[in-house]
Amino acid sequence: MRTTTLFRAAPFMLFWTGTAIAQNADSLRADSAFRRGDWPTSARLYSSIAAQAPSQGMAWLRLGIARQGLNDLDPAISAFEKAVTLGFQVSTATYRLARLHARKGNSDRAFAYLEQLVPTRAVPVAILDTLSEFSELRRDARYQVITTRMNALRYPCRSRPESRQFDFWIGDWDVTPFQAPPSPTLALLGTNRVDLQLESCMLVENWAGAGPGGGEGKSINFYDTNRNAWRQVWVADGGGSLDYIGGQWEDLAARL
């Protein structure tokens, strides 16, 4: 009985899945065309897919990209707006909308979309600065205001007060005995070079002891936002390591 039931159900299953199978085949062809940059075929197939499944965000986004590749600006704008409405890859669609409106000379609309991109931290300013579509926008004072805010969010260490507390340590240092009085004959214990790296997020210490067998070591030093405190991780050439965490910043010193 079970075998007969399944056999009889099969034609019905094929009937109601036929549309899904056809849509899947179209999706595969569309994806292939999209990946090889065949914009006419991509636009045709994704237009059909979006018409059949209007809630499919990927179809609208890729339709917009294909239309943009064909220089069909207004249809591309409409497709990207649909993707944004559906909440699909909003940052990507918004970025492309800004480019399209800038290309059309709609500066106010372009700036409106760039403004929406600010909190997303999705597109580095270094990329925006290279886009030919934004050549006119870069002459507008609004561009500098927006990109300054983008950089502040993208690279918070540059301006975060806590991350700047050890900047006085940057540079090359001769290391002498602690609290020894100044003297031209003061023993040199070693040298230290401290560099600021990773967009001002990390100080790298390079220690070299004086004389034979003086030893070497390095440390990374950064403001740990997970702990809201400074942290130092030290590694010596002998294999030993230290991990200092916490402490309070006061009187121009951090006690770890």
DSSP 8-state assignment for residue 232: E
At 4, the pLDDT band (50, 70, 90 cuts) reads: very low
- Please give the pLDDT value at position 211: 83
- Residue whose C-alpha is closest to residue 195's, from 175, 221, 216, 159: 221
Average pLDDT over residues 151-155: 94
CA 119 – CA 76 distance, rounded (Å): 24
Q: Which residues make beta-bridge pairs with 221? A: 203, 232
DSSP 8-state assignment for residue 140: S
Terminal Cα distance for the chain, rounded: 77
**Residues in the chain, overall count:** 256
- Tell me the HSE value of 111 on the side-chain side, using a 13 A CA sphere: 16
- Please give the pLDDT value at position 12: 36
Residue pair 71/52 in contact by the 8 Å Cβ criterion: no
CA 64 – CA 73 distance, rounded (Å): 9
pLDDT tops 80 at residue 55: yes
pLDDT in tens, 74-126: 999 999 999 999 999 999 999 999 999 999 999 999 999 999 999 999 999 99
pLDDT tops 60 at residue 2: no
Rounded to an integer, what is the distance from CA 28 to the centroid of its chain? Answer: 29
Average pLDDT over residues 53-81: 98
- Please give the pLDDT value at position 167: 94
The more confidently predicted of residues 21 and 172 is 172
Residues of the chain with CATH 1.25.40.10: 2-158
User: What are the start-end ranges of the H helices in the chain?
Assistant: 2-35, 39-52, 57-69, 73-85, 90-104, 107-117, 125-128, 141-154
pLDDT tops 70 at residue 16: no
pLDDT tops 90 at residue 231: yes
The structural architecture, per CATH, of the domain 2-158 is: Alpha Horseshoe (1.25)
pLDDT in tens, 155-209: 999 999 999 999 999 999 999 988 888 777 888 999 999 999 999 999 999 999 9
Non-local (6+) Cβ contacts of 84 within 8 A are 90, 93, 94, 97
Residue 223 has which token pair? 């403001």
